[in-house]
Each structure stands twice: as C-alpha cells, then as structure tokens.
Amino acid sequence: MYLLIATRNPDKLQEIRACFTFGNLDLGSALDYPHLPDVVEDGETLEANALKKATELAIQTDSWALADDTGLEVDALHGAPGVYAARYAGENVTYADNVAKLLKEMRNQSTRTARFRTVVALSDPQGQARWVEGLCHGTILDHERGDRGFGYDPVFLPDGHTATFAEMDTDTKNRISHRGLALQAAKTAWQSILKSENPAWT
C-alpha cells in the first residue's frame, strides 16, 4: 500500500519514517509533489490542522495520507505557544528564533512544566479521516542542551529522564516522544487498514 506523509519538513519526515514502517507499506511524502501548494495551517487546534493536511493531500493525490501537527503547551504561558509552536517567533523563522523567544518569555518563571502534544490524522482518498494523539510531559530548561533533534528539543527535558530530546539518540527519543507515541497509537489503531490490499475504513 502507498501512504503519503503530508509534510515537506525533512526533520519531521525522518522521525515519521523511523516510527511508521511495517509490512510492505510504501511511504512517500509531499516532497514528491512539488507542484502542489502547501496546505495553509489555519486551524485553531492541532486536530483541525492535522485533519486538514491529511484530507487535502489525500484528495489531491488520490491516495491515503498521513499528517501530524504538534504543539508545545507551557503552563506558565497559559498553554502557549500551543498550536503556533512552529511560528511562535513569527512567519518564516528558524528553530533558533522560536527557542530564543521561548527562553525570553520563560525568564524568571518558577513554574516550568510543559507538554508536547502531537495529533496524527489518517485520510482515505475521499477525504474521510480519523485521528489519534500522543503526549509527552516535561520541563522547559533555562538554557539549551544538546545538538540533535529539532525545534524546541534542546530546552525540553521529558519527565523521568536526565537528557533533553536534543541529547537523545533517535531510537530513544522515538520511544518516548509525543510524535513517537502518537505514531504508535496510529499503528495500533490503523495497522490492519494499512496492511490491507484493499484498505477502507470500517
């Protein structure tokens, strides 16, 4: 079965490919369709954005499509940056820009608890979709540690661990991360569909 991963983010694509391989599943990505415009992520929730990306790409390519959206919810910032995590410091910014803004906003904050949340959506070629989620709780550090991963990984210390996401190897991160847990939930929920020669929602 062919499954389109609805992203052009190479870092996100690498994580999804590492987690979401089984059987004879043939994985492609939005990078294979340069003529298609980017999906505008204008939803007010992670669920809305993930569902929109999955359904639009599925319909446009006449294939099953998998999409995700991730937010970082920081308690001291009343849940911000939340759904706007990727553009917290503005449009067309770097990972470093977003991290710098977060550290500035968290300066002198005593409460540093936070959680990463990922929603993964799967759509059939007709645009019928479902979603699952994964959560990872942790703490926002006051300085960066590690040079692996991407996004807010250097300042996020997951509960029960002494290494940030940016200090972990890929396998370890994928076992405990929000995206890894969401993808595991997706595999559990939809594996029978994705292994089928004639996939269809039941």
The CATH code of the domain that includes 178 is: 3.90.950.10
The answer as to whether 199 is a domain residue is no
The answer as to whether 43 is a domain residue is yes
Q: What pLDDT score was predicted for residue 177?
A: 93
The answer as to whether 202 is a domain residue is no
Q: What pLDDT score was predicted for residue 18?
A: 80
pLDDT per residue over 1-11, tens digit each?
899 999 998 88
Q: From CA 98, how far away is CA 87, in angstroms rounded?
A: 7
Region 166-193: what's the mean pLDDT? Answer: 92
Q: What pLDDT score was predicted for residue 13?
A: 87
Is residue 23 predicted with pLDDT exceeding 70? no
The answer as to whether 59 is a domain residue is yes
Token pair 């391989």 is found at 21
The answer as to whether 12 is a domain residue is yes
Is residue 21 predicted with pLDDT exceeding 80? no
Q: From CA 28, how far away is CA 3, in angstroms rounded?
A: 6
Q: What pLDDT score was predicted for residue 184?
A: 92
Token pair 């929920």 is found at 189
Nearest alpha carbon to residue 168 among 156, 184, 181, 179: 156
Is residue 197 predicted with pLDDT exceeding 90? no
Query: Which position among 68, 69, 124, 153 bears the catalytic label?
Result: 69
Q: What pLDDT score was predicted for residue 11?
A: 82
Residues in a beta bridge with 140: 156
Using 50, 70 and 90 to split pLDDT, how confident is the model at 166? very high
In the residue annotation, 69 being an active-site residue is answered as: yes
Is residue 20 predicted with pLDDT exceeding 80? no
Q: What pLDDT score was predicted for residue 127?
A: 97
The answer as to whether 119 is a domain residue is yes
Using 50, 70 and 90 to split pLDDT, how confident is the model at 15? confident
The answer as to whether 95 is a domain residue is yes
Region 44-52: what's the mean pLDDT? Answer: 96
Q: How far is CA 57 from CA 69, 75, 155, 170, in A?
A: 14, 34, 32, 27
Q: From CA 157, how far away is CA 166, in angstroms rounded?
A: 9
Q: From CA 36, how far away is CA 57, in angstroms rounded?
A: 9
Query: Structural domain of residue 143, as residue ranges?
Result: 2-194
Is residue 12 predicted with pLDDT exceeding 90? no
Q: How many domains does the chain have?
A: 1
Helical (H) or strand (E) element with 191 = helix 178-194
pLDDT per residue over 95-132, tens digit each?
999 999 999 999 999 999 999 999 999 999 999 999 99
